[in-house]
Structure 1
Amino acid sequence: MMSDKKKLDQNQQEKPMSLQAMSLLTGLIGGLVWSGIGYIFYYFNLTKLSPKIILEPIAVGAWKDGWLGVVIALTLYGILGMGLGFFYYAALKRFRSIYVAVGFGVALYAVVFVVLHPLFPSMPSILKLDLNTMLTSLCLYILFGTFVGFSISYEQSEIEDHKSPSKADLQES
């Protein structure tokens, strides 16, 4: 009896994650990883903008300058990444080009450094940023956009490829 149950369990395939859930997870991981790398870049003075800048409009107190500020900032980037991953899923998932994902990262950079600039009083305007900070930040946004965008587009194309009948199936009919 026990061996029959084992055989049945072995034959069952794991249900694949939905593309929406995968998009949220990809955004979370992208937000955590790339903001973590951004913090490392800040630590080694490759950029003058700390990832903790996200706490500026919402937090008061000295705690945000310590390790707790880093943890909460990285968590917020993960949550924002989830939202951005879902946005990419909703708006851009059908585009298979890596250039769309890179453009997504560049657009995010423009939104943060131009449109949302007034929310961050300690952040200099884009024209006053030093070259290292500007290029490092741009590269991080491009890498985030590419990671999230291309991952979601790739999964979308895989789903479409498995749903569409193959040429061999069409020739047999």
Structure 2
Amino acid sequence: MAEEREQLEQNQREKPMSFMAMVVITGLIGGILWSGLAYLAYVFNFTEIRPNVFLEPWTIGAWKEGWLGTVISILLIGGISIVAALIYYAALRKFQSIFVGAGYGIALFLVVFFVLNPIFPGISPFWELERNTIITSLCFYILFGVFVGYSISYEAHELRGKNEDEKKARTDPEFP
């Protein structure tokens, strides 16, 4: 009886994650990963922008300047990154190129530093930022765009290929 149950468990396969769930997880992990690394860049003085600037317009208190504010900021940036990943999914998933992801990262950089800049008082106007801050921030946005973009595009391409193979197998009896 126990052997039969074990054999049945061995024969069972896990259901694959839905494509939308993969997009959400990719956005979350990408946001947490790259904002965490950006915090390290701040610690080592590569940039003058901390992740905590995200909390400045909406919270009161000194706690946002400490470790708790940093952790909450990184997690919130991860949440916002889900939205960025969903936008990439909706608009650009068909393009399987590293350059499309890099371009998406540059577009996000421009939106944050030129359009949303007035919302964040902790970020100086773009033309007043140090060169190291601009270069470091741009690189992190490009890396985020490539990470999210290529992950989503690759998975979309694989899913398209799998669906085409299944269609071909149904219509062509000689298909392997």
Scaled by the length of structure 1, the TM-score of the pair is: 0.94
The equivalent position to 1:172 in structure 2, one of 165, 171, 174, is 174
SS in 2 for 1:164: helix
Write the mapping of 1:1-173 to structure 2, written as runs, cut at 5 A: 1-165=1-165, 172=174
Q: CA 1:10 to 1:60, structure 2 compared with 1: closer, same or farther past 3 Å?
A: same
Say if 2:104 and 2:142, in contact at 8 Å, map to a contact too: yes
- In structure 2, distance between residues paired with 1:34 and 1:156: 23
Unpaired runs of 5+ in structure 1? Answer: none
Say if 2:53 and 2:121, in contact at 8 Å, map to a contact too: no
Scaled by the length of structure 2, the TM-score of the pair is: 0.92
SS in 2 for 1:172: coil
- In structure 1, distance between residues paired with 2:2 and 2:42: 57
| Residue correspondences, number | 172
Deviation at 1:165, TM superposition (A): 2.2
Identical columns (%): 49
Deviations 1:73-130 (A, max 9, x none): 0110111111111221122111111111111100000000000011012311111111
Counterpart AA for 1:56: E
Runs of 4 or more, structure 1, over 3 Å off, are: 168-171
Counterpart AA for 1:18: S
Say if 2:47 and 2:132, in contact at 8 Å, map to a contact too: yes
Unpaired runs of 5+ in structure 2? Answer: none
Deviates more, 1:90-99 or 1:60-69: 90-99
